[in-house]
Amino acid sequence: MSGRRLPGGGRIDRNRPLNFTFEGRPYRGYVGDTLASALLAAGVRVVGRSFKYHRPRGLLAAGVEEANALVQVGEGARAEVNLRATEVELHEGLTARAVNCWPSARFDVGAVNNLFGRLLPAGFYYKTFMWPDWRWFEPVIRRAAGLGRPSILPDPDRYETRHAHCDLLVVGSGPAGLAAALAASRRGERVMLVEQDPLPGGSLLWRPAQIDGRSGSDWAERAAAEIAAAPDALVLTRTTAIGYFDHNALALLERVAGAAGSPGPDHRPRQRLWSVRARRVVLAAGALERPLVFPGNDRPGVMLASAVSEYAARWAARAGDEAVVFTNNDSAYAAAHALLDTGGRVAAVVDSRPAPPARRTASLQARGVRTLLGASIVATHGRPALTGVTIRDAEGHDHRVAADVLAMSGGWNPTVHLFSQSGGALVWDGEQALFRPGRSAQAEVSVGAAAGEFGLSTAIEQGWRAGGGEGAPPLADAADERWTIGPLWRVPARGKAFVDFQNDVTADDIALSARENFVSVEHLKRYTTLGMAADQGKTSNVNALAIMAELTGRPIADVGTTRFRPPFTPATFGAIGGRARGELFQPLRRLPAHDRHVQAGAAFEEYGGWLRPAHYPGAGESAHAAEQREALAVRRAVGLFDGSPLGKIDVVGADAAEFLDRIYANTLSTLKVGRARYGLMLNEQGAVIDDGVTVRLAADHFLVGTTGGGADRIAAWLEEWLQCEWPDLDVLVAPVTTAWAVLTLSGPKARDVLDAAGVDMAIGEEDFPHMTFRECRVAGVPARISRVSFTGEVSFEVSVAADRACELWDRLRLAGAPFGLAPVGIEAWMLLRMEMGYLHLGADTDGATTPDDIGWGRVLKRRRDFVGRRSLTRPELLRKDRLQFVGVEAVDSTVPVPVGSHLRSPGLPSGSEGYVTSSGLSPTLGRGVALAMVRAGRSRYGEELLVITGEGRGRRVRVTVPGVRGPGGEPLDG
């Protein structure tokens, strides 16, 4: 293992060494290193195994486009998987291992796939595992193909979401991006400059350059500092623009605190997801180098030429001692010079072009480097890493040359991902052999290499202009040099030539795809999985479609690209979720008297977004026993139920009665002041969408009651009709559900308890009858009382201002104690209404239930229109065999029939005639009670049906009127 750290240079702090482990072995690096640069400097050549063939792989790149070095970092709850080693900042104690390797990167059992590679062509999975069922094979394949093992422990860190607005958002802090942000910030604009790297500068961090008389990296540092110091500007490093959405909305992922895998050090969140709305956007995201496609191009030691330069200049890490450069364009010559400058040897530069610019070759020949023109590399050698290559010269002769690094360049791809996401159209630039941004769809402009402009001066000028810069832009000292390329999309030679390194897609796979007529890029992608890995084909897509173009004889522009989709680089679920997790994922509403329920020993459950008492189990009491006891208390004494979530909507105005007559399926305008009426609301399809009791407080004032789940929905529904259909009506709608707490006394002793609590009016049956409403004081608290009943027992629904709920609760409990008052939870409450045969919307009905289905056919007698009226006479809704709401009682035992059980006449051979919608054990009767929807149910009272599904299968039930009756057939509520 040769030390490859250069003696000087690089943006690393040699006074601050860091210890880390990779694959269990200890290594050292420096502050400023990435995991990748530290491994390279330590001479580690195999950093992972490929996805399908488990071939040994080394570093391909130095940045986000890295396709091979996927690592798992950290342990336990903070384990992060599928990170690119090139993006992992080194920190003390970092532990990393390669993903997709078992037991290790150097010795990998899955490599047997490589031996049988002939058997694993593109489409292999689709062809082989379709029959009899993909699911049989999936577990085995997934285990073999897994990319790391994410922690199953809860994430201990915090994540945040932040919203921001700006005049100008600049993505990328290379020379073009810095110039844009500098110009805009000097104009006093609100500027956000976003850089995914820890340092601003982009290519200036490693490419030799002089701007305004300083070194490129010095200039970048000063420019970024000036922008950051501007009053309305923000420079975000370690922040990646991952998505570009409509109307200049962009998502940024900021890595705030703690390197990957390390403990979050302080109060700060680990990551922050920014949602930014920008007036204008400048995309200065640079360009990514393309690999060349030739046999053995995935052997560890084969790297992008620009990565070789970047590792040397930025991290003082030399990729190898003996190099060969393979290129089809001018840019790789810089890598050869960088290797020479850092003390390496360059055995040869292989240029596929017969006649590259003479000044390029001359500059290397002057340094003693052999250049082979019109040549290519047809094989690589060495296990597990590169020891040599075979060069085929222009005459077709093969030469074997020793090398431990091969720097390749197939040209450049502008980073057009965000541009493409924004809706912009790409154009093919044949001269430079690349796709670059064409027509913009949003207020956006691409500059510099991201626009296919590789000259430093031009990039700076483009950025400066895009930022609204006035006067002369910063000046690069050297004039732009022309850059030329002679496309070479694949080297015509036998052997596995990889296009997509991360998903192991070869040039032969693309040829197979073409032969099988998957020639569209979208089909090619899915058939071969090309570009579908975590890197989304950053280094492979253009090579692949160019090869497809060659194979099918089409111009590259006609083949086109697949869609670029967010995120640009993978984002954690933690960041996407932000604070919305655990209790904050969907915060539950609490009742005004929540604390009192806690004191009363309530067991809470969620009902329609509210945390409500399901029941109040005593010591050692089961949920079922509690529910039975509470229901019996209502039948025999008195219960106290918190019904606060029931929807309450004030409907006020001269046309309030007319409005409700249009909204409700039944008439509300005839309701007298101080009285209450049950009502049904339909949608325009004629289905019942809500029910409830409405009271009339004054001639022009109704209080509409809805189901708990309907409180918000129905308020919005009323508004929609008022605003969109009947704006001429003089009506105001105000949802007031949470303004009131509703405590209901129910049971034979309810009146006694209310009386004992103290009420300033007569509450006898004559004075205050069923279905009436009064305003009064209860125990001194201003209250509204409705005489409505959900249980069949005498009930007083007492509403007080929400902030007096606890006071009322205490008074009623105190007053009720001598009468055996028990707090009653939802479960008992539901049981009581079930006994009575009262409908519970959403439990007994579904989205297709009509008024007639639940016994409200009389609404059709109304002569006027109302919402849903016309639908009720559609033929489908008039069918006689629709499901109708009925009761069912078991005839064979007292055990309740399970909810959801399907029912059928014993005389029918197959099919279902309905199902049980509500069921429970009646404590009063000591047997099961149930409600159901049954085909033509109302004409079948007394008929026996079979339970044909579930636990009750084979049992017999009888169809009845909804609600159980006493022994003499009388209703339970008398």
Partner 1 sequence: MLLIPCPWCGPRDEIEFRCGGQSHIQRPEPFDAVSDEAWADYLFTRINPKGVSYERWLHVFGCRQWFNVARDTRTHEIHAVYRMGEPKPDLRGVE
Interface residues with partner 1 (CB under 8 A) are 163, 245-249, 275, 277, 423, 441, 684-685, 716, 719-720, 723-725, 727, 865, 869-871, 874-875
- Cβ at position 716, least distance to partner 1 in Å: 7
Best CA proximity match to 638, nearest among 528, 740, 557, 750? 750
Q: Which is nearer to partner 1, 222 or 869 (CB)?
A: 869
Q: In the complex, what is the shortest distance from the CB of residue 684 to partner 1, in angstroms, rounded to a whole number?
A: 6
* Residue 512 · residue 123 · CB < 8 Å: yes
Token pair recorded at residue 281: 């956007």
Can you tell me the distance from the alpha carbon of 553 to that of 569, in angstroms, rounded to the nearest whole number? 33
User: What minimum distance in Å lies between the beta carbon of 281 and partner 1?
Assistant: 13
User: Residue 398 or 720: which CB sits closer to partner 1?
Assistant: 720
Are 663 and 688 a contacting pair, CB within 8 Å?
A: no
Tokens of 79: 């384990």
> To 5 degrees, how large is the angle CA 370–CA 376–CA 378?
120
DSSP conformational letter for 474: P
Q: Phi then psi for 865, rounded to 5 degrees?
A: -80, 150
Q: Report in angstroms the alpha-carbon separations of 632 from 36, 748, 751.
A: 71, 11, 17
**Judged by CB, which is closer to partner 1: 595, or 865?**
865
N residues, the chain: 974
Nearer to partner 1, 727 or 909 (CB): 727
Q: Cα(55)–Cα(622) distance, rounded to whole angstroms? A: 60
Of 118 and 864, the one with the shorter C-beta distance to partner 1 is 864
Minimum separation from the CB atom of position 336 to partner 1 (A): 47
Beta bridge partners of 459: none
Q: How far is CA 596 from the centre of its chain?
A: 38
* Structure tokens, 848: 């297709």
The terminus-to-terminus CA distance of the chain in angstroms comes to 94
Judged by CB, which is closer to partner 1: 684, or 767?
684
16 vs 713, which CB is nearer to partner 1? 713
Q: How far is the CB of 592 from partner 1 (least distance, A)?
A: 24
CB of 588: closest distance to partner 1 in angstroms?
Answer: 19
Query: Least distance to partner 1 from the beta carbon of 809, Å?
Result: 32
Minimal distance, residue 667 CB to partner 1, in Å: 16
Distance separating alpha carbons of residues 437 and 893, to the nearest angstrom = 75
Give the pair of three-digit tokens for residue 357: 């610019």
Max CA pair span of the chain: 115
**Closer to partner 1 by Cβ: residue 460 or 649:** 649
For the chain, state the CA radius of gyration. Answer: 38
- For residues 163 and 880, which CB has a smaller minimum distance to partner 1 in the complex? 163
Q: Per the omega criterion (within 30 degrees of 0), is the bond before 567 cis?
A: yes
Amino acid at 519: V
Query: Which segments within 787-854 are labelled E, that is strand?
Result: 795-801, 821-824
d(CA 936, CA 944): 14
Smallest gap from residue 425 Cβ to partner 1 (A): 12
The answer to whether 630 touches 742, Cβ cutoff 8 Å, is: no
Min dist. Cβ of residue 868 to partner 1 (A): 10
Nearer to partner 1, 265 or 587 (CB): 587
Q: Is the omega angle on the peptide bond into residue 769 within 30 degrees of 0, that is, cis? A: no
In the complex, the smallest distance separating the C-beta of residue 17 from partner 1, rounded to whole angstroms, is 46
At its nearest, how many Å lie between partner 1 and the CB of residue 489? 33
> For 244-263, b where at least 16 C-beta lie within 10 A, e where not — what string?
beeebebbbbbbbbbbbbbe
CB 825 within 8 A of CB 614: yes
Of residues 367 and 579, the one with the C-beta less far from partner 1 = 579
At its nearest, how many Å lie between partner 1 and the CB of residue 870?
4
Q: Which is nearer to partner 1, 275 or 949 (CB)?
A: 275
By C-beta, is 69 or 426 nearer to partner 1?
A: 426
- Cα–Cα dist 928/956, whole Å: 13
